[in-house]
Each structure stands twice: as C-alpha cells, then as structure tokens.
Amino acid sequence: MATLRTTSPLVARGRAGTRHASLLGVAVSVATALTILAVAVLLVLPTFVLHPLLDAAGSASFLGVAPDEARRYSDLTVTELVVGPGTFAFAGPGGGPLFDAAEASHLRDARALLYGFLAVCAVAAVLVVAATMRARRSDVWRDVARGAGGLAVAIVMIGSISLVAFEPAFELFHRIFFPGGNWAFDPGSQRLVQLYPLAFWRYVSALVGIIAVALAIATWWLARRRAADARADEGSVRP
C-alpha cells in the first residue's frame, strides 16, 4: 500500500528561506564584484592617470601634435564622456572637427554604455550596504568575500588570456557591446584611434585590472575578518 508523504509547513518555510538566502548570497557576491569593478574604472579617469598612458601609447605622434595638445584633446573627450553634453564637436588640428560623425556617434554609444554600467553598479553598491545592515551579517560578509575573491580570480584569468590575445579580446568586447558596428576606424585617417591607439587601451585595461585585483583582495580580507567577528557576536547572544 502506497504511503502519501506530505511536507510540513515548517519544513516548507525552511526550504523557502534557504532558497531566499542562497539567492541573496549570489546577488550580494555579484553586486560586490560589480562595485569593485566600477571603483577601479572610475580611478583611471583622472587626468593625472590618463596623461602618462597617452604619452606611453604615443598618442601625440599618431596625431602629429605636441604631447600637451594630445592631452588637451583627451581631456575634452573624457569630460564630454563623463560630464556631457556628449556632442564631441570640438575643434582638432587645423581648426576642423577633431572627430567625424562616425567617431562622435561611437563616443556617444560609449557614454551610454558607461552611464548604464555605473547605474547598475550604483544599485549593486546599495544592495551590498543594505544587506550588511539588515541580513544575517556573518553570512553576508562571507558572500562579500566570495564576490571579491571570485572577481580577483576572474580578472587574473582574463588578464592572462589578454597578455597573448589582447586584440581579439578587444574586438570581442566591441562586438558584444557595440553591435551596431560603428567601432572599427582607420588609424591612418580617423583621429579617435590616433588619440587612443590600441596600446593605450592595453595600458588602461592592465591598470584597471591591477586596481580591481588589489581592491578585491583587500575587500576579501576585510570581509573575512568581518564575517569572523559577526559569527563571534552572533554566538555570544545565543541563549
């Protein structure tokens, strides 16, 4: 004779709570990684960081201008990229527009991508802060540590691949995030890729990766300590 087994409401609630905690943990880990990555990206935008990278990449030589002039063009570009208005219609060498219509269109797409990325990361940061304040703190800090550790490992792996295949990786990134195809330019005539040649992006990517790994390791270490402290506090208040 078959026996019908039923799950008690208490067990069902326990399973639902476990699933909820698991989903929250994944969300916190991903949000942690995104937050760290956003901070790393923002830290390479100041002029005192970008100017040496422009010089190292030979931007002035590609443009046929003095280094100070190349830096000025980059400052104008980054300001419009981050602050606005996003027209990218300033004058270049000889008084004509620095960028043609296709280049300006690509920069506007890049601006939209940057804004979207930072908006998602801002929400992610709020989630991490809220979780550490409202959820079981030892579990949340472990999730933060997992997210930071996972990001560090992922960047090291991607960086290792990029060391030998940066150009294909760079192209793949553009094919994914700029599917319209307005990202391939002629280095002989178009100034966007003269101002920011491939070597510049290699240096920027490496610097973002180094900063992100350093922040991730620091976050992983701090989060593990916070998790241990929270476990001790939670154990001390148990009846």
**What is the model's pTM?**
0.85
Burial class (CB in 10 A: 0-12, 13-18, 19+), 222: middle
- For 131-176, what is each residue's pLDDT tens digit? 888 756 778 899 999 999 999 999 999 999 998 999 999 999 999 9
pLDDT at 11: 40
Q: What is the CA radius of gyration of the chain?
A: 24
CA distance 141 to 132: 7
- For 173-230, what is each residue's pLDDT tens digit? 999 999 887 888 999 989 999 999 999 999 999 999 999 999 999 999 999 998 887 7
